[in-house]
């Protein structure tokens, strides 16, 4: 269970990183 939660958190961080890159590219 803890591993799944960790993977979800990692996925959210990855999504945030991608969004940040997209913001930098757009601006």
pLDDT of residue 27: 77
pLDDT of residue 15: 94
Six-digit token pair at 14? Answer: 């990855």
Quickly count: other Cβ atoms within 10 Å of residue 10's Cβ.
10
- Render pLDDT for 1-27 as a digit per residue (tens, 0 to 9): 788 989 999 999 999 999 999 998 887
- pTM of the full predicted structure? 0.54
Rounded Cα distance between 16 and 19, Å, is: 5
pLDDT of residue 19: 94
Residue ranges of the alpha helices (H) in the chain? Answer: 2-26
């Amino acid at each position: 269970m803890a591993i799944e939660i960790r993977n979800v958190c990692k996925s959210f961080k990855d999504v945030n990183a991608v969004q940040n890159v997209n913001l930098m590219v757009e601006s």
